[in-house]
């Protein structure tokens, strides 16, 4: 049944440093009517992801920012509630980018139809969606893990990090996860089969990481930056590969930190240890999506890949949930159940 209004959350102001609830505004709009060739989508699930912090800023990045007053961007799972498009029927479930709102129109471009009998549709936003593809393509193309190597990943219980570690294990590597708090660390080792997990809140993180990596680190999948990078850096082996996927520790930075300037030190290590640092976003490897589904779907069906969702109820709670995500408060793939 269709509701009377389309609730939508827009960017109210560009944050300085940490976003606050006041940077978002919940608006009520009319539910739009599909024109010829269009479908009306109702949002079931909204994905919350660290990249959203970047879109709230005007700084140069890999995608254009959300304008103040615009609906916040976001990946979604939607139900088709009305269709004037020959390719879609009422009741179809699709993965879309409808953003932070109840309803959206679409001309069908960029939608992916989901089969609810194959996997819960919410996985299209996580393990079988953008985060999973990010982990898979970044690790395989840039990390290039070889059996017996050590692969470290931060934000390791998140949807990207948990996939990186599990794929690394399936590829014959030693997987080391870094996460916040003993519960997450226990989960990594006991549930996901990581070889070790390091609590980045512990005062001796660097020493523990070193202990867990007696042969150094060959692949560091960078989601975080900050203190985790500082602990990883001395352990990077000759020829280590560093897919740079995210830097959530820096997304709220308002300027350059105090010195000394460690840029020359990094460049010297890149040279002396022949490191490879390469940034990427999932769209750079979009052509590998089919290969990803083909390789990862069986792993999921066979229980060789596990995933965890952290579900927030109600669109109105999305701003607080995103603010918490940037602090590492979520445990698993953060989703908002939008449909009331």
Contacting residue, 277, 293, 299, 339, with a second copy by CB under 8 A: 277
Shorter beta-carbon distance to a second copy: residue 225 or 332: 225
H helix count then E strand count, the chain: 9, 15
- Does 61 interact with a second copy (rule: CB under 8 A)? yes
Q: Which of 205, 270, 289, 311 binds a second copy (CB under 8 A)?
A: 270
Burial (CB count within 10 angstroms: exposed 0-12, middle 13-18, buried 19+), residue 64: exposed
Q: Which is nearer to a second copy, 239 or 301 (CB)?
A: 239
User: Closest approach of Cβ 316 to a second copy, in Å?
Assistant: 31
- Our CA angle for 290, 293, 294, nearest 5°, is 85
> Of residues 3, 22, 32, 62, which one binds a second copy by CB under 8 A?
62
- Residue among 222, 231, 322, 323 that touches a second copy (CB under 8 A): 222
Instruction: Choose which of 86, 147, 214, 257 interacts with a second copy (CB under 8 A).
Output: 257
Under the binding rule (CB under 8 A), the answer on residue 229 touching a second copy is yes
Q: How far is the CB of 279 from a second copy (least distance, A)?
A: 4
Contact flags string 161-190 toward a second copy, x per CB under 8 A: ------------------------------
Question: Measured from the CB atom, is 129 or 246 closer to a second copy?
Answer: 246
Q: Which stretch binds a second copy (CB under 8 A): 145-153, 192-200, 212-220, 272-280?
A: 272-280
What is the spatial distance between Cα 131 and Cα 170, in angstroms, rounded to a whole number? 18
The correct pick among 255, 290, 294, 302 for binding a second copy (CB under 8 A) is 255
Q: Is 103 in the site for a second copy (CB under 8 A)?
A: no
Q: Are residues 34 and 82 in contact, defined by beta-carbon separation less than 8 angstroms? A: yes
Query: CA distances (Å), 98 to each of 17, 42, 43, 293, in order?
Result: 26, 9, 7, 22
In degrees rounded to 5, what are phi and psi of residue 188? -60, -45
Q: 254 Cβ partners below 8 Å, 6+ apart? A: 16, 17
Neighbours of 218 (CB within 10 A): 24
- Under a CB-based contact definition with an 8 Å cutoff, are residues 285 and 279 in contact? no
Give the helix ranges, DSSP H, for 175-262.
Answer: 182-190, 205-212, 226-232
Q: Minimum Å distance from CB 242 to a second copy?
A: 9
- Answer for which of 14, 171, 278, 304 binds a second copy (CB under 8 A) is 278
| Binding residue for a second copy, selected from 84, 113, 250, 301, defined by CB under 8 A | 250
Distance of CA 45 to the CA centre of its chain: 15
Bridge partners of 78, per DSSP, are 43, 94
Piece of the chain touching a second copy by CB under 8 A; list 12-20, 55-63, 106-114, 296-304: 55-63
Report the nearest approach of a second copy to the CB of residue 16 (Å). 17
Nearest-5° Cα angle at 304, 301 to 308: 85
**Interior CA angle at 27 toward 23 and 29, to 5°?**
150
Binding site for a second copy (CB under 8 A): 54, 60-62, 222, 225-226, 229, 238, 244-247, 250, 253, 255-281, 284
């Amino acid at each position: 049944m269709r509701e009377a209004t389309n609730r939508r959350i827009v960017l109210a102001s560009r944050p300085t440093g940490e976003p606050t609830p006041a940077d978002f505004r919940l608006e009520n709009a009319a539910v739009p009517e599909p024109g010829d060739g269009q479908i009306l989508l109702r949002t079931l699930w909204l994905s919350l992801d660290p990249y959203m912090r970047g879109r709230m800023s005007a700084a140069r990045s890999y995608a254009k920012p959300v304008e103040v007053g615009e609906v916040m961007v976001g990946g979604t799972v939607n139900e088709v509630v009305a269709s004037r498009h020959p390719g879609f029927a009422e009741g179809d479930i699709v993965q879309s980018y409808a953003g932070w709102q109840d309803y959206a129109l679409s001309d069908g471009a960029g939608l992916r139809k989901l089969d609810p009998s194959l996997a819960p549709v919410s996985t299209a936003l996580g393990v079988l969606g953008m985060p999973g593809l990010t982990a898979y393509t970044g690790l395989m193309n840039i990390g290039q893990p070889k059996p017996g190597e050590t692969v470290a990943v931060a934000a390791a219980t998140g949807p990207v990090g948990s996939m990186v570690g599990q794929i690394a294990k399936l590829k014959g590597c030693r997987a080391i996860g870094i996460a916040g708090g003993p519960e997450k660390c226990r989960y990594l080792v006991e549930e996901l089969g990581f070889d070790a997990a390091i609590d980045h809140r512990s005062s001796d993180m660097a020493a523990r990481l070193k202990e867990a990596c007696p042969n150094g680190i060959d692949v560091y999948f960078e989601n975080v930056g900050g203190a985790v990078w500082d602990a990883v850096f001395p352990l990077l082996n000759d020829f280590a590969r560093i897919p740079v996927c995210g830097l959530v520790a820096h997304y709220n930075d308002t300027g350059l930190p105090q010195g000394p300037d460690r840029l020359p030190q990094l460049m010297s290590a890149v040279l002396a240890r022949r490191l490879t640092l390469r940034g990427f976003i999932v769209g750079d490897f979009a052509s590998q999506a089919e290969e990803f589904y083909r390789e990862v779907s069986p792993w999921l069906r066979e229980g060789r890949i596990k995933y965890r969702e952290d579900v927030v109820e109600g669109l109105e709670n999305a701003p607080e949930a995103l603010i918490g995500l940037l602090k590492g408060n979520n445990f698993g793939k953060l989703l908002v159940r939008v449909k009331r």
